[in-house]
């Protein structure tokens, strides 16, 4: 089913290196051609590796395997989602909501996926664009969230929020989180946002420490365009952070536009994966009832 697999791994960890070698060994034992991302190849022992730049990994692979944590998957999602190739994660990070393969059963679970025994989920990305008055713009994708904040300076932002060109509110606070269903279990959850099933076609807007007692998270259609204008940008020098990895400067009089990206991430899990099961294990739901 998968004739060629691309491999991307987080660098700087011996455990990740060992898991990467295990993935490559399983792929080769099943007759799958292996393409290794150039930076990933640097952490591996000298051997015959077919190295390729990340920029072409998606177009040249039938499957992309990411070894690391959710942060590694976020980067791959932004870089490779437009190739529309399926992505499988091997968890070598923290919570691991997106990585469905456990490091201690790589051979068994990866073999199942290669044999076609897997479930596929489509996770849409957010497209953030900062448009200045002169028409110039900068943009990035985000799988989890787009966060507008005051950068490294502790200042309160004053901003206006619009949904589909309709004014929603003016607000003062530390910033605003705009999250996809995938990102609802990340930063937005810490800020009091709702947990959203990944199949939902919706976007959540979560204020960060708003200077009001009545502000609450707002869930809107996944087809909405959200616009944010910062009123005191000249004083605060705000930034729009995409997945906390790519940062766009929001200049005075600029508008931040956020909408759904047209190409979704195809995320694979071994058969039997359950979102609610992940919530129970990752978020420690109901592990003890009545002191038992």
Active site residues: 70
In this structure, are residues 55 and 79 in contact, taking their beta carbons and an 8 Å threshold?
yes
Strand order in the sheet with 226-230: 137-142, 126-131, 255-260, 226-230, 157-163, 166-173
Sign of CA dihedral 69, 199, 271, 78: negative
DSSP conformational letter for 47: S
Phi-psi region for residue 116, left (φ > 0), alpha (ψ -120 to 50) or beta? left
d(CA 21, CA 32): 14
**Residues in CB range of 292: below 8 A, 6 or more apart:** none
């Amino acid at each position: 089913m998968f004739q060629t697999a691309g491999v991307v791994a987080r660098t700087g960890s011996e455990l990740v290196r060992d898991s990467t070698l295990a993935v490559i060994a399983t792929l080769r034992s099943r007759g799958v051609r292996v393409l290794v991302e150039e930076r990933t190849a640097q952490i591996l022992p000298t051997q015959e590796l077919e190295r390729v730049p990340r920029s072409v990994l998606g177009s040249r692979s039938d499957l992309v395997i990411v070894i690391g944590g959710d942060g590694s998957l976020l980067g791959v999602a932004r870089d490779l989602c437009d190739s529309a190739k399926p992505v499988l994660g091997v968890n070598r990070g923290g919570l691991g909501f997106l990585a469905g393969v456990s490091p201690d059963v790589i051979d068994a679970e990866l073999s199942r996926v290669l044999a076609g025994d897997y479930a596929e989920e489509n996770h849409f990305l957010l497209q953030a664009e900062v448009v200045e008055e002169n028409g110039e713009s900068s943009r990035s994708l985000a799988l989890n969230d787009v966060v507008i904040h005051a950068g490294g300076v502790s200042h309160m932002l004053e901003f206006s929020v619009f949904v589909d060109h309709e004014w929603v509110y003016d607000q003062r606070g530390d910033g605003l989180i705009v999250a996809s269903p995938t990102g609802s279990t990340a930063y937005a959850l810490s800020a009091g946002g709702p947990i959203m099933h990944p199949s939902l076609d919706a976007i959540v807007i979560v204020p960060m420490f708003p200077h009001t007692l009545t502000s609450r998270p707002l869930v809107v259609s996944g087809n909405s365009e959200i616009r944010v204008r910062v009123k005191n940008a000249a004083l605060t020098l705000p930034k729009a952070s995409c997945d906390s990895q790519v940062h766009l400067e929001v200049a005075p009089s600029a508008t931040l536009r956020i909408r759904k990206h047209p190409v979704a991430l195809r995320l694979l899990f071994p058969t039997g994966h359950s979102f609610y099961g992940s919530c129970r294990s990752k978020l420690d739901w109901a592990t003890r009832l009545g002191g038992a």
